[in-house]
Structure 1
Amino acid sequence: MSNFATRDFSGGGLDFKAAVTNSGAPDFGSGDKGGDASAATAVDETANAERLAALEQERQAAAAKARDAGWAPQVPYNYTENTNPAGEIGEAPDAAAPAAPWLADAVIYEWCDEYGEVGPRNEELERELFQAEHRMRSGGAIQALTFDVSVEGPEASRPAPVREFDDAGLHPVMRENVRLCGYVAPTVIQAYCIPAVLMGHDVVACAQTGSGKTGAYLIPILSRLMGKAKALAAPRPNPKGYNRMTDRVRAEPLVLIVCPTRELACQIFDDCRRLCYRTQLRPCVIYGGAPTRTQRESLEMGCDVLIATPGRLMDFMQQQNLVAFHRLKFTVIDEADELLSNGWEECMEKIFSGADVNVDADHTYLMFSATFPKEARKLAKEYMEDDFVKIRVGRVGSTHANIKQTIVWVDDSSKNQALFDLVFNSEPCRTLIFVNAKRKAEMVDDFLYNKGLPSTSIHSDRTQREREDALRAFKMAKCPILVATGVTARGLDVSGVGHVINYDMPSTAYGGITEYVHRIGRTGRIGNVGRATSFYNEGNEEIADALVKLLVENKQEVPDFLQDRIPETLDFDEDKTDNEDDDGGFGAAGFGAGDDAGSSEGDVNGSEAGGFKADNDDENKMASW
C-alpha cells in the first residue's frame, strides 16, 4: 500500500524512497579516492534532501488548496487508524479510533440463553451497526425510473409484488431492523423476490447493479427463520463465560451464501449482522487472505448464517468437525455468472449437491446473477424445484438513467492532468477511480496524493489487511478517493459514492461493456443519482458500439466522436446469449423472455414513472415498474 514514506512526491516520476536509498553510494570503479567519493556522496545526499524538501513543500501547498476546495485532509496512511465515525466528507478527525483488524471480526449481536423470543436492545451496538455511513438510503430519483419486469414460473407460484415492507408479512423484528437500516420502500427486485422467498420458492433473479439484490434475499430468508431459529438451529454455547477449550461446537448453518470476492463477502456479512440484530441468528464470514484461526474460532461459537468465498469454503468443508450442512435450509449463490466464469463450476456443483443432505430435504435455492450463461441454467434445472421462479428486472447487462454518463476524449499522455482537473474541480464526494492494471492503481494514487488530494488505492496484490483498511478508509471518508482495479471493486456497495471515473476504459480483455456496467453501477444505487465519467481514446474502439447502445438506451449524451456509431435500432446480444440453451428450454422461452424474447427495444411503451402494469399471459408476467 502506498504510504507517506514511499509515495512519489514529484508527481512526475521521482520516487521518494528510491531517492533516499539510491542517493549516491560510492562508485569504487570510478577511480576516485575514497575521500572524494564520500564528499560526492554527501553533496548528492544534500541535493536530494533539498529537492525532496521542496517537493514536500509543494505537496503541502497543494493539500492546503484541496482542503480549501472542501476535500478531507490527507492521511499519511496508517493501517491501524483510519476510522471516521461521522463519515462526512472533509470532516475526518485528526486522531482516529483504531480500526478493527479484520472485517470478519466486526461485532455482532450475541444471543444469550436468558433472552426470550426477542433480544433486548443494545444502544452502543445499535449506534455502531446503524450509524450514518451504513445507512444506504433509497433516493427519491427511484420514482423517475421505469423497469421492464419479467416473472416466469407456474401460475400458482408467481408472486404479486409488495409495495411496502409493512405489507410483506415480515417478522416484527425484521421489520424494525429494516427501518433501522434506513430502507423506506422495497426496490423493484425486492418487491418481487421477498414474497417469492416467503412463499418458499426457489428463485433465479437478475437485476441491474445497485438495485438492492442483497436485501432481496437476506430480508425474506432471515424473516422466515425468525421464530423458528431456536427449534431449527444447532445448540451453541452461551457467550457469557465462553471457554473455547470446553465449549466450542461444530458450525451447522441454516443459511449458506457464496460470492466471488472477499470484499463482497465482507459487505454481505456487514448487511447480515445488521439484519440479524436482536435475533437468535448468528452470522459468520469466511474468506481467503485472512487468518484461518480467527475464522475457525468464530465458527466454533456457532453459526446460523455463513457467508463465504468458494476457496475458503471448500477448505473448511473438508473439516467435518468444523462445519456441517445437514441443517441447511437456504443456499444463495450471489453473482453466479462471475463465479462460473472464473472456473468455480465444480465448486458450485459440490455446494449445490452438498446442500441436499439436509435432514428433512426442505431446502431453498436462490441464484442471483447479472447474466445467466449455460452453466448457470444447468445448475438451476438440475437442483431447483420445477416451480422455481425466474425474475428479471430491466434488460440483462444494462444500467439506468439515474447515472449521468459522460464520455470524454483523453489521450493516454494527458490522463493524469485530466484526472486531477476533473477531481479537483468537482464537488467533493466519495470518488471511485478505475484502472485496468495493479501497477497503474498505485501510480494514479501516488499522483493524486502528491497533488494534495486524499486518495488511497486497492488491488489484488495488496494483503487482505491492506485491502480491508483501504475500503474502511473510503467508507468512513478518511480517504474519500479510491483508485481500484475492477476485480477488487466488484460488488462494492458503499453509501454516498457520487462519482465513478474510468481512467482506463475496460477493453475486452478486462471485461468489456459488462465490466463498464459493473463499474459505473457503484454509484446511483437504489434510487440515488450518480455520475460516471470515462476517458476514451482510439485504444477503446472495440467497445465503442456497445457503449453507444448503452448511452442511447439510457438517454445519455453521445459525444461527437461517437455519433457515427449510433445504430438505427437497438439490439442487444446479451438477451440472445441468455436465452440460448442446448435443449431450447429454460422456462417458456428462455430466461427473461416475454413475447419479444431475444431482443430489447428500449423503453416500455405506455409505462408510467414508478407505475406497474402486468398482463395475464399464462407463461410470463411482464410488468413495468
Structure 2
Amino acid sequence: MACAQTGSGKTAAFMLPILHTLLSDPALDNPSHREVQTPQAVILSPTRELAIQIAHDANKYAYDSILKTVLCYGGTSVGHQLSQLSRGCHILVATTGRLKDFVEKGKVSFENLRFLVLDEADRMLDMGFEPDVRCLVGHPTMPAKGSRQTLMFSATFPEAIQMLAREFLVDSVMLSVGILGAANSDVKQAIYQVTQFDKRNKLLEILGEEGSDRVMVFVEKKKTADFLAAFISQKGIKTTSIHGDRYQRQREEALADFRRGTCPVIVATAVAARGLDIKDVRHVVNYDLPQSVDEYVHRVGRTGRVGNLGKASSFYDSEANGALARPLIKILSESQQEVPEWLENEAKYGGGGGGGGGFGGGGGAKSFNSDSWGSSSGGGGGGGGFSQPVAEEEDWG
C-alpha cells in the first residue's frame, strides 16, 4: 500500500519492478493467438484517460522487449480491443467495467496472474467502482492474495481504502511520502475571495498573466465546463473542455490539444483531476472549489509535478464555501503557504465546519496487519468541514 502526493512517480514505482520481474523470467513466452488470454499483470484504473496514460508508460518502459501491453476501456470498439488482446498480453491495463465484461465473456482469465495493481484506488471508491473491483478480485480464476502480489496506490488514505487494503493485502507494507492528505509544497497556492458574479473577470485576469502557459481550470458541473470554455474562447484565448458528456474521441482530442499547446487552457470537471500526467501545467485554477479536501489536493497536484514548481489559484465564495475555511487554512499551513487574514476571519466568524482534522502523519514505511489499522490513521476522509467526495455522474467504465 503506497500513498504519495500526485506527481511523485507512483506509476513508475509499480511499473518498473513489474517489468523487471517479468523480463527476468526465463519461462516468459509469447502468448499470441490464444482464445483466452492469461495476463501476468493486471493494472486497474478508475478512468479511461488514466488507463491510456499507464499503458503509454508501460510501452515506453518496455520498448523493444518481448512484453506486450494491452489497453482495455469502455466507450470504444469491443471488437478492436478483443483483436488486440488475441495477439498476446503480458500486461493488461483496464478500467473495471470493460475488464469485468471480458472476464465474464471468457476472454480473460487470471489463472497466471502474478501482479494485481489498483491505481488511484481512492478514486475507484469515490466513483462507485468498488462492486466491480470486488467482483474481479473474487473471480474463481483469481489467485489467492497470498499467491499474487497486490499493490494499491493512492494519493489519500481514507477509512474506506484502509478497509479495502485489509481485505486485499497480506503481510503488507505501508509506504507514505510526506504528510497524507497534504498539498504539494512545490505548488504556490493562493485563495481569492470572489463572488460567483465576479469569478469570470478574475479568471480572465489570471489567464492574461499566464501568456501561453498551460492552465487547467476546474469546475463542478459539466454544463459550466462548456459554458466557461466558450466564454474564454470568445475573449481570444484558445480553450477546450473535458467532461463526461463528451464522446471518448472528443475527450482524447481535447487532451491532445492541451498537451500540444494548441489550446493552452482546458476547463475540466473532476474526472480529469486524477492520474493524468500532463507535462508543463503551470497553473491550476479552482473556479469552483470542490466538495472534499482530498479532491482539492488532487487538483492542486496537476501542477508542480516531479519537482517542478507550479501555481494553484482558488476562488472562495463566502456564501457557497463558508464551511471550507478551516480545512483550507490547515492545508495552506501544512504546505508552508501564506494564509490570508480574511480567510482566518472567515474561519473564526463564518462557521468553518469544525476542526481541520482528517490528515495523517509524516512519511516513511512500516509493516502492518489488520489489527494495527484503525480509524485514527491519516487521511481520514475529508475532516474539518468538507463532505465526503461525490463523483459526478459520468460513465468512465
Which of residues 210, 214, 221 in structure 1 aligns to 2:11? Answer: 214
Using the TM superposition, give the Cα deviation of residue 234 of structure 1 relative to its aligned residue in structure 2, in angstroms.
5.4
**Structure 1's 378 and 416: CA in aligned 2 closer, same or farther, altered over 3 A?**
closer
Q: Is 1:514 equivalent to 2:294 in the alignment?
A: yes
Q: Is the 8 A contact 1:263 1:489 kept in 2?
A: no
Alignment partner, residue 231 of structure 1: 27
Using the TM superposition, give the Cα deviation of residue 224 of structure 1 relative to its aligned residue in structure 2, in angstroms.
1.0
Structure 1: distance between partners of 2:195 and 2:269? 20
Deviates more, 1:347-356 or 1:468-477: 347-356
Q: Is the 8 A contact 1:345 1:375 kept in 2?
A: no
Using the TM superposition, give the Cα deviation of residue 390 of structure 1 relative to its aligned residue in structure 2, in angstroms.
1.0
Structure 1: distance between partners of 2:166 and 2:147? 17
Which of residues 74, 94, 100 in structure 2 aligns to 1:288? Answer: 74
Deviates more, 1:455-464 or 1:365-374: 365-374
Q: Is 1:370 equivalent to 2:155 in the alignment?
A: yes
- Name stretches of at least 5 consecutive residues in structure 1 with no aligned partner: 1-203, 237-246, 577-583, 599-625
Q: How do residues 103-122 of structure 1 correspond to structure 2 at under 5 angstroms?
A: none
Alignment partner, residue 434 of structure 1: 218
Alignment partner, residue 464 of structure 1: 248
Alignment partner, residue 558 of structure 1: 339
Alignment partner, residue 172 of structure 1: none
Aligned residues: 367
Alignment partner, residue 315 of structure 1: 101
Structure 2: distance between partners of 1:383 and 1:518? 24
Structure 1: distance between partners of 2:141 and 2:156? 25
Using the TM superposition, give the Cα deviation of residue 376 of structure 1 relative to its aligned residue in structure 2, in angstroms.
3.2
Alignment partner, residue 549 of structure 1: 330
Q: Is the 8 A contact 1:498 1:531 kept in 2?
A: yes
Which structure has the bigger radius of gyration?
Answer: 1
**Structure 1's 371 and 356: CA in aligned 2 closer, same or farther, altered over 3 A?**
farther
Give a deviation string over 1:261-283, Cα, whole Å, max 9, x none.
11111111111110111111111
Structure 2: distance between partners of 1:343 and 1:532? 28
Using the TM superposition, give the Cα deviation of residue 499 of structure 1 relative to its aligned residue in structure 2, in angstroms.
0.6
Letter in 1 for 2:36: R
Using the TM superposition, give the Cα deviation of residue 421 of structure 1 relative to its aligned residue in structure 2, in angstroms.
1.7
Alignment partner, residue 190 of structure 1: none
User: 2:212 aligns to what SS in structure 1?
Assistant: coil
Q: How do residues 288-367 of structure 1 correspond to structure 2 at under 5 angstroms?
A: 288-320=74-106, 322-354=107-139, 357-358=142-143, 362-367=147-152
Using the TM superposition, give the Cα deviation of residue 233 of structure 1 relative to its aligned residue in structure 2, in angstroms.
4.3
Using the TM superposition, give the Cα deviation of residue 359 of structure 1 relative to its aligned residue in structure 2, in angstroms.
10
Structure 2: distance between partners of 1:282 and 1:541? 51
**Structure 1's 359 and 515: CA in aligned 2 closer, same or farther, altered over 3 A?**
closer
Letter in 2 for 1:546: P
Q: Is the 8 A contact 1:233 1:327 kept in 2?
A: no
Structure 2: distance between partners of 1:441 and 1:360? 42
Alignment partner, residue 231 of structure 2: 447
Give a deviation string over 1:32-86, Cα, whole Å, max 9, x none.
xxxxxxxxxxxxxxxxxxxxxxxxxxxxxxxxxxxxxxxxxxxxxxxxxxxxxxx
Using the TM superposition, give the Cα deviation of residue 400 of structure 1 relative to its aligned residue in structure 2, in angstroms.
2.3
Q: Is the 8 A contact 2:219 2:288 kept in 1?
A: yes
What percentage of residue pairs aligned between the two structures are identical? Answer: 41
Give a deviation string over 1:301-324, Cα, whole Å, max 9, x none.
11111111111111111111x221
Using the TM superposition, give the Cα deviation of residue 430 of structure 1 relative to its aligned residue in structure 2, in angstroms.
1.0
Using the TM superposition, give the Cα deviation of residue 392 of structure 1 relative to its aligned residue in structure 2, in angstroms.
1.3
Structure 2: distance between partners of 1:585 and 1:280? 37
Letter in 2 for 1:517: V
- Name stretches of at least 5 consecutive residues in structure 2 with no aligned partner: 349-354, 362-367, 381-397
Q: Is the 8 A contact 1:208 1:394 kept in 2?
A: yes
Q: TM-score, structure 2 length as denominator? A: 0.85
Q: How do residues 19-418 of structure 1 correspond to structure 2 at under 5 angstroms?
A: 204-228=1-25, 231-233=27-29, 235-236=31-32, 247=33, 249-320=35-106, 322-354=107-139, 357-358=142-143, 362-385=147-170, 387-418=171-202
Q: Is the 8 A contact 1:284 1:299 kept in 2?
A: yes
Structure 2: distance between partners of 1:496 and 1:457? 18
Q: Is the 8 A contact 1:233 1:253 kept in 2?
A: no
Using the TM superposition, give the Cα deviation of residue 296 of structure 1 relative to its aligned residue in structure 2, in angstroms.
1.1
User: 2:225 aligns to what SS in structure 1?
Assistant: helix
Using the TM superposition, give the Cα deviation of residue 354 of structure 1 relative to its aligned residue in structure 2, in angstroms.
3.3
Which of residues 312, 315, 329 in structure 2 aligns to 1:535? Answer: 315
Letter in 1 for 2:88: G
Structure 2: distance between partners of 1:215 and 1:270? 12
Give a deviation string over 1:546-596, Cα, whole Å, max 9, x none.
0111111111111231123679xx9632339xxxxxxx96464649969xx
Letter in 1 for 2:55: F
Letter in 2 for 1:498: R
Using the TM superposition, give the Cα deviation of residue 327 of structure 1 relative to its aligned residue in structure 2, in angstroms.
1.0
Structure 2: distance between partners of 1:211 and 1:261? 19
Structure 1: distance between partners of 2:159 and 2:205? 45
Using the TM superposition, give the Cα deviation of residue 249 of structure 1 relative to its aligned residue in structure 2, in angstroms.
4.4
**Structure 1's 383 and 459: CA in aligned 2 closer, same or farther, altered over 3 A?**
closer
Structure 2: distance between partners of 1:383 and 1:489? 26
Using the TM superposition, give the Cα deviation of residue 413 of structure 1 relative to its aligned residue in structure 2, in angstroms.
1.3
**Structure 1's 592 and 249: CA in aligned 2 closer, same or farther, altered over 3 A?**
farther
Alignment root-mean-square deviation, CA: 2.6
Alignment partner, residue 204 of structure 2: 420
**Structure 1's 420 and 560: CA in aligned 2 closer, same or farther, altered over 3 A?**
same
Q: Is the 8 A contact 2:303 2:309 kept in 1?
A: yes
Give a deviation string over 1:193-246, Cα, whole Å, max 9, x none.
xxxxxxxxxxx1111111111111001111111132x6244532xxxxxxxxxx
Using the TM superposition, give the Cα deviation of residue 259 of structure 1 relative to its aligned residue in structure 2, in angstroms.
1.3
Structure 1: distance between partners of 2:263 and 2:37? 37
User: 1:338 aligns to what SS in structure 2?
Assistant: helix
**Structure 1's 591 and 531: CA in aligned 2 closer, same or farther, altered over 3 A?**
same
